[in-house]
Structure 1
Amino acid sequence: MLQVSDLTVQYGSYHAVKDIHFSVQEGELVVLLGSNGSGKSTVFRAISGLVKPTAGQIQFDGKNITGIPAHAVVKLGVSQCPEGRLLFPQLSVLKNLTLGAYTQRKNSAAVKEALEQVFSLFPVLLEKKHQPAGSLSGGQQQMVAIGRALMARPRLLLLDEPSLGLAPLVVDQMLQAIEKINCRGTTVLLAEQNAHAALRIAHRVYVINSGRIVLEGSRDEMLGDERVKEAYLGI
């Protein structure tokens, strides 16, 4: 479904990512694992059309989407939930969610169906749909951010650090929700620095360090790799 080849993104003289290769098959839950500043968010921004790559190619379903505008990427079926949530805190939960459905705005039935799916995934948001998003807890705000990305009805969902700043119990709930999203048929690419969380649900893992892919393999292979244990699991 997604093929990233020789991807390089440069800010001035600084290479945020360099010559990255990885792929995501339809139906997979793939994790891009790396510490803060390793280049994960830059990769996501390049896929989403928010930054233009210096070199390389990004293909989605065999179509070259390298450097096309972000709104066009969403229309093709790729939606991103950004790091830090980036909600509109004064707007209601419902307003924040419906903003994510702008590609479906002429199809009220599709918007209604997407809302129902989000509320079935996160029932607490139905109870709080008329409250300002900024009044919710951190975990609930993350639910809104994920729900907003799902409102575009993506085939590929990019989740950038969804566990960041959340309590362990809330992280568990978030992981369960992400697994449900994947089981319902949405392919997921998850960027995480929380290896304990990511390796619990991943099908495959790519480890990124200083803008380069340094390791790749299945979840079991990563759990058994001494370099991953030492660097990310503290074992």
Structure 2
Amino acid sequence: MTRPNPPLEIHNLEVRYGAYTALQHLNLTVNPGEMVVLLGANGAGKSTLFRTLAGLQRPANGTASYGQSLTNGKPEQCVSLGVALCPEGRLLFPALSVEKNLRLGAYPHRRDSVGNEAQLKRVYALFPDLVKKAPDAAGSLSGGQQQMVAVGRALMARPTLLLLDEPSLGLAPLVVEQVFGAIEQVNQSGVSVLLAEQNAYAALAIADRGYVLESGQVTLEGSRAMLMNDDRVRSAYLGV
């Protein structure tokens, strides 16, 4: 019997870079199977939060847990707990082929070749545009295709919690629709998703709930409908 995903629970999280406080008194929850969107402008602290959850940045105070602690500064332990990060900017290996970039994401399961092949097929089913591009250098792809590779690489780790940092950044509307459609399918398969986005329309369209992050603090939280109808959100993020 498969164990249910644990919740992501963040309590009073504080992260500093020297004298600068990037996150302060942050409280956030992602329930099992939820899609939660994190809205915020550049510099709000979204990427810092994701780096912390991925074990790349240690907090000064507070806790973040996903069954076990995520704040000990060990990325490999976070991955072993089922957490995978698709970072802002993709961070692919441009000279390597698309398929090699994808397979690098499966490193935690490197001894399970059968499972890795099955997961690779799932990724190609989500992003059929990548099938013919598999032998091509990742750096030769369009921006949208590179984003598909970045999301696919994170999925190759077989996460139960997927962290997506600005996946629509710089993409054409049609590609945004393709990428967000794939993210929605992943979530519907049971994977919990925390999605940081400036494209509030696209993110709220598929999210269950959301938080607004400003200057490292949560200033608003609520359901999709509540946030879409909130005057502050409409003015700042929906352009209404």
Q: TM-score, normalised by structure 1?
A: 0.98
Give CA deviations for 1:38-62 in whole Å, capped at 9, x if unaligned. Answer: 000000000000000011001102x
- Residue 134 of structure 1 pairs with residue 113 of structure 2: no
The Cα offsets for residues 125-164 of structure 1, whole Å up to 9 and x where unpaired, read as: 1111000000111000000000000000000000000000
Q: With structure 2 as the length reference, what TM-score do the two structures score? A: 0.96
User: Aligned equivalents of 1:65 and 1:121: distance in 2?
Assistant: 28
- Find 2:226's aligned residue among 217, 221, 228: 221
Q: 1:185 aligns with which of 190, 196, 205?
A: 190
Q: CA RMSD in A?
A: 0.7
Q: 2:111 aligns with which of 95, 106, 109?
A: 106
Instruction: Say if 2:25 is the partner of 1:15.
Output: no
| Whole-angstrom CA distance in 2 between matches of 1:37 and 1:66 | 21
Write the letter of the residue equivalent to 1:232: Y
Aligned residues: 234
Cα distance in 1 for residues equivalent to 2:164 and 2:33: 15
How far residue 100 of structure 1 moved from its aligned partner, in angstroms, is 0.4
Identity %: 57
Structure 2: tracts of 5 or more residues without a match? 1-6
Name 2:10's counterpart in structure 1: 4
- Give SS of 1:185's match: coil
Paired AA for residue 48 in structure 1: A
* Aligned partner letter, 1:31: V
For residues 175-214 of structure 1, what are the structure 2 equivalents within 5 Å? 175-214=180-219
1:164 alignment counterpart: 169
Higher deviation after alignment, 16-25 or 192-201: 192-201
Q: Is the 2:54–2:70 Cα contact (8 Å) retained in structure 1?
A: no
Partner of 1:69: 74
How do 1:111-126 residues align onto structure 2 when only pairs under 5 Å count? 111-126=116-131
2:162 is aligned with what amino acid?
Answer: L
- The Cα offsets for residues 193-217 of structure 1, whole Å up to 9 and x where unpaired, read as 1112111111000000000000000
Q: 1:40 aligns with which of 35, 39, 46?
A: 46
* DSSP 3-state at the match of 1:233: coil
Q: Distance in 2 between matches of 1:106 and 1:204?
A: 37
Secondary structure of 2:10's counterpart equals strand
In 1, are the aligned partners of 2:23 and 2:45 still within 8 Å (CA)?
A: yes
Q: Deviations over 1:83-126 (max 9, x none)?
A: 00000000000100000000000010111111011011011111
1:133 counterpart letter in structure 2:
A
Amino acid at match of 1:65: L
Unaligned residue ranges in structure 1 (runs of 5+): none
Most deviating of 195-204 and 157-166: 195-204
* d(CA) in 2 for partners of 1:145, 1:65: 22
Q: Secondary structure at the match of 1:127?
A: coil
In the TM superposition, what whole-angstrom CA distance separates every residue of 1:207-228 from its partner, at most 9, and x where no partner exists?
Answer: 0000000000000000111111
